[in-house]
Amino acid sequence: MSKKKRDYYEILGVAKGASADEIKKAYRKLAVKLHPDKNPGDKAAEDNFKELGEAYEALSDADKRAAYDRYGHAAFAQGGGPARGGGGFHDPFDIFREVFGGGGGGGGGGGIFEQFFGGGGGGRQDRENRQRGSDLRYDMQITLEEAAFGAEKEIEVSKPSACGVCGGTGAEKGSRVVTCNTCGGRGQVVSSRGFFQVSQTCPRCLGTGQTVEKPCAECRGEGRSEQTTRIKLRIPPGIEDGSRLRSTGNGEAGVRGGQSGDLYVVIHVKEHEIFEREESNLFCDLPVSFAMAALGGELNVPTLHGEAQLKIPAGTQSGATFKMRGKGMPELQSTDVGDLHVRIVIAVPKKLTAEQKHKLQEFAELLGDEVPPPHKSFFERAREFFQ
């Protein structure tokens, strides 16, 4: 049985309304305490460190935090809520580096590992210094029906992917990968500017800490090349316009075997010719004849699930709205379904035969309506009105 995930706010020890600064401060305090390099051989500490990184990543990003507050852990489940389209978080050690501003320093730079752990990163430096690939955005248009029932989509994305010749290493076959002699394998170079020392990504190895003796001719030593990739994506039922689905690892490939970025798919729901949507509810106008509105009856109403019967009471007025329960949109990550609101619009015929006009005039007279003879012009009727 899988372990139940803990609440992210509980992991960080902050209130749900905590500010971004409070969240970051809480993370920094706990990250130093739980870092595996400070707790060698402690599996529980390492698991808690990874859990902490996941919680911080979710709550430090405004969009991810809003999704979590609304959907909980389901927001980041496989194919789940608007924040992601696949599970998975960034490497907790990468998050640690970003927060504390460095992965080892050296050369007098005084990196975070030296400050807290007195070492160079516990043997993880090569992995941490590899340059992560960039995240990508893809805009997808879907129909209202696909938003309601979900769909399986396949998209094509042109992006830097791991080189098929060198396998992402950036080296020709048989060529060795060696430590960068510019940064000494740290991936960072430190320069002095007056009283300050500035750490920057090594311009030669691009932060990987390594170079190759003979670069791959296909990718010129970068370890990646432009390729078109087909990606399958599941659209969850109830998704809203503007939602983002995250496909983990389907962004740009990292440099020389670095971690791949993520692909964010932004959903755009097309306007429907019949229905308008407000959250999980749908709205539509239903044209009804004067006779049906006056006498009452039953009509077939279009819904996303097929036609359904609606009873029209006698004497229904134009603009009256009827609610058809459970005929709207499903709510994301829920079994609840919204309603369909049908607004009655009295349809006035544009053309009448002579007999129809005569009958209608007789009917109006029976109601006591003052209806001028149809042969009178507008000006004649106007003169009579002002007499």
* pLDDT tens digits, one per residue of 208-225: 777 777 888 778 777 787
Q: Are 272 and 112 in contact (CB under 8 A)?
A: no
Higher pLDDT pick, 13 / 178: 13
pLDDT class of 193 with cuts at 50, 70, 90: low
To 10 degrees, the CA torsion angle through 115, 116, 117, 122? -90
Q: Are 153 and 267 in contact (CB under 8 A)?
A: no
Strand ranges, E, within the chain? 136-142, 151-162, 177-179, 188-193, 196-201, 210-212, 224-235, 244-247, 263-269, 276-278, 281-289, 297-303, 306-312, 321-324, 340-347
Residue with tokens 């003052």: 370
Higher pLDDT pick, 205 / 112: 205
Average pLDDT over residues 118-137: 56
Give dist(CA 115, CA 8) in Å, integer. 28
Average pLDDT over residues 260-270: 89
Average pLDDT over residues 284-301: 87
> Is pLDDT at 15 greater than 90 in this prediction?
yes
Structure tokens at 204: 């030669």
Q: Residue 376: its pLDDT value, please?
A: 53
> Is pLDDT at 81 greater than 50 in this prediction?
no
> Is pLDDT at 29 greater than 50 in this prediction?
yes
CA distances from 24 to 60, 70, 370 (A): 7, 21, 76
pLDDT class of 120 with cuts at 50, 70, 90: very low
> Is pLDDT at 175 greater than 80 in this prediction?
no
> Is pLDDT at 26 greater than 90 in this prediction?
yes
Residue with tokens 């009579």: 384
Give dist(CA 32, CA 226) in Å, integer. 39
Give dist(CA 176, CA 172) in Å, integer. 8
